[in-house]
Structure 1
Amino acid sequence: MTSLRVAAAQIRTGVDPVANLATATDAVRRTAAAGAELVALPEATLAAFGTDLRAVAEPLDGPFATGLRKVAAELGIVVVAGLFEPASDGRVHNTLLATGPDVEASYRKIHLYDAFGSRESDLVAPGKELVTLEVRGVTVGLATCYDLRFADQFTALGRAGAHLVVVPASWGAGPGKEEQWDLLTQARASDAQSWLLACDQAWTPPAGTDPLGIGRSALIDPIGHACARLGSEPELLLGTIDTDLPGTIRARVPIL
């Protein structure tokens, strides 16, 4: 069996990127100390929704991304975290940065949260490209929050050979939203026939229609079983994935 030690750092971020970087760096250090080789941080780790996203957006060589690169390189761990970068049309991109030893990739959120009264597309320009990367010989796909409602994206990542899909999120609270999160994280792992590591913001009181967090970060196996799931408060999830399992499942149930 080949394996990869993974973690989800379920943190709560605010409006200050400097403070958020300190919180993120501390969480990365704690997961690395526990043996993690890859750690996911939430969507909007740079700054929570409800912040002036245009004002805080930074390029991928800005201080926030540089800070994440520094701690990832120092600890020899791959970090996946959500930030906002300026877009050419005056909006921003909702971007995941993946960085660490021999890893440097970014994914711009494709499906924007224009739902439940929220209008992410007013401030955020959509991405267009699916992204996979290699971590210690393991193919990792990237997706963000509302992407979970679009099964075809996860099927495509499975067809691209992803052993693991990492999904940072800032999943807004509301009636039925916890049940929807649990259902969709498990269903999308089954659609991709891959492991799925979902890292949400810790529970944060709703701020109007801005999505914030409910927690419930999870590690799901390729048949949709939740191997671990956190509660609502800031906490670390740690697990080891069998990277041979997706291939075994795909051979037995060849839906891709």
Structure 2
Amino acid sequence: MAESSGINSFGHHGVMKIAVVQAASSYDKPANRELVAKLVADAARQRPDLVVLPEAIMFDFSTEAGLVAEAAEALDGEFVATLRKSAVEHGVAIVAGMFERSPDQHRPYNTLLAVGADGSLLGAYRKIHLYDAFGYKESDQLMSGDVAPVVVPVGGLKFGLMTCYDLRFPELSRALVDAGADVLVVPAAWVRGPLKEHHWTTLLTARAVENTCYVAAAAQNGKKYCGLSQVIDPQGVTVASAGEADGPAFAELSADRLADVRQTNPSLKNRRYTVSPRS
């Protein structure tokens, strides 16, 4: 865990600023890259340390066979180059979702990429739990990643990466916290539907409370997806929310708040079960 008091590398008195950005992607990759550059630039006006963009902001999901595979790129492709350029230009770290080429040319990875403010690659998380539910089968088009937690440092905090449907599996969030995550970052394209918005907000809050950590969720909106991007603190309090509108929501993450909650509610220390994810 980050320092609980004093001035550290991510701001005065253990506070850093985060932006969760809500927007909808399309099937036009160049237009999506322009959108990403604009979204980061707009959020950067408030000088956050980290900007979180939604899942699949590089290219929207499609029911048309092969379209997502054709759109997939390598980690040295144009989309990642856009992230690197925006990060350096505005001095912010970025997390964003893309489709990454895999060993299976017909099924790419659903990948979250984390880029540092200097343009360096901090980490890549390939979605573990594919959305084979609610009448959809993501595994028809995408390949799942290795079952391993991915945690990246930004400033003085550590951010655990998970994607959309991963939210329904509490063992992943616990594995990320056990690997040192202070914040769970959840880019998503959470499909609208009966009770889906209720599930989204309930599960985000549960992941924060049960792990006594921050949760930062950036979701796609529009006709297909529910939006409701938000930041939740370790006591389950929503400290920032985007509702259904486009644009960023800002929150401050406090190392003091994290330490105080974990002292008041030491549920992580009081555990009797410690279960490692299956390999």
TM-score normalized by structure 2? 0.86
Does the Cα contact within 8 Å between 1:93 and 1:124 map onto a contact in 2? yes
Aligned residue for 1:73?
A: 88
Aligned residue for 1:229?
A: 241
Q: Supply the distance in 2 between the matched residues of 1:167 and 1:32 (Cα, whole angstroms).
A: 20
Does the Cα contact within 8 Å between 1:199 and 1:217 map onto a contact in 2? yes
1:124 aligns with 2:142: yes
Aligned residue for 1:138?
A: 157
Whichever residue aligns with residue 48 of structure 2, its letter is: A
Aligned residue for 1:21?
A: 33
What's the offset of the Cα at 1:142? 0.6
1:243 aligns with 2:262: no
Q: Supply the distance in 2 between the matched residues of 1:166 and 1:145 (Cα, whole angstroms).
A: 10
Q: Supply the distance in 2 between the matched residues of 1:63 and 1:43 (Cα, whole angstroms).
A: 17
TM-score normalized by structure 1? 0.94
Does the Cα contact within 8 Å between 2:217 and 2:231 map onto a contact in 1? yes
Comparing 24-33 with 185-194, greater Cα deviation is found at 185-194
Comparing 225-234 with 16-25, greater Cα deviation is found at 225-234
Aligned residue for 2:43?
A: 31
Q: Supply the distance in 2 between the matched residues of 1:126 and 1:234 (Cα, whole angstroms).
A: 29
What's the offset of the Cα at 1:252? 2.5
Aligned residue for 2:108?
A: 92
What are the ranges of 5 or more consecutive residues in structure 2 without an aligned counterpart? 1-12, 269-279
Does the Cα contact within 8 Å between 2:149 and 2:179 map onto a contact in 1? no
Larger radius of gyration: 2
Does the Cα contact within 8 Å between 2:39 and 2:247 map onto a contact in 1? no
Q: How does 1:85-234 map to 2 (within 5 A)?
A: 85-90=100-105, 91-101=107-117, 103-104=120-121, 105-128=123-146, 129-204=148-223, 206=224, 213-234=225-246
What are the ranges of 5 or more consecutive residues in structure 1 without an aligned counterpart? 207-212
Q: Supply the distance in 2 between the matched residues of 1:148 and 1:24 (Cα, whole angstroms).
A: 24
Aligned residue for 1:55?
A: 70
Aligned Cα root-mean-square deviation (Å): 1.3
Q: Supply the distance in 2 between the matched residues of 1:36 and 1:30 (Cα, whole angstroms).
A: 11
3-state secondary structure, aligned to 2:132 = coil
What's the offset of the Cα at 1:234? 1.0
Deviations 1:85-142 (A, max 9, x none): 1111231100001102355211001111000010001111111221001111211111
Does the Cα contact within 8 Å between 2:83 and 2:115 map onto a contact in 1? yes
What's the offset of the Cα at 1:232? 1.2
The aligned length equals: 249
What's the offset of the Cα at 1:170? 0.2
1:254 aligns with 2:266: yes
Does the Cα contact within 8 Å between 1:154 and 1:191 map onto a contact in 2? no
Q: Supply the distance in 1 between the matched residues of 2:39 and 2:117 (Cα, whole angstroms).
A: 18
Q: Supply the distance in 1 between the matched residues of 2:252 and 2:262 (Cα, whole angstroms).
A: 20
Does the Cα contact within 8 Å between 1:154 and 1:189 map onto a contact in 2? no
Q: Supply the distance in 2 between the matched residues of 1:126 and 1:187 (Cα, whole angstroms).
A: 24
Comparing 16-25 with 154-163, greater Cα deviation is found at 154-163
What's the offset of the Cα at 1:155? 1.3
Runs of 4+ in 1 over 3 A off after TM superposition: none
Aligned residue for 1:209?
A: none
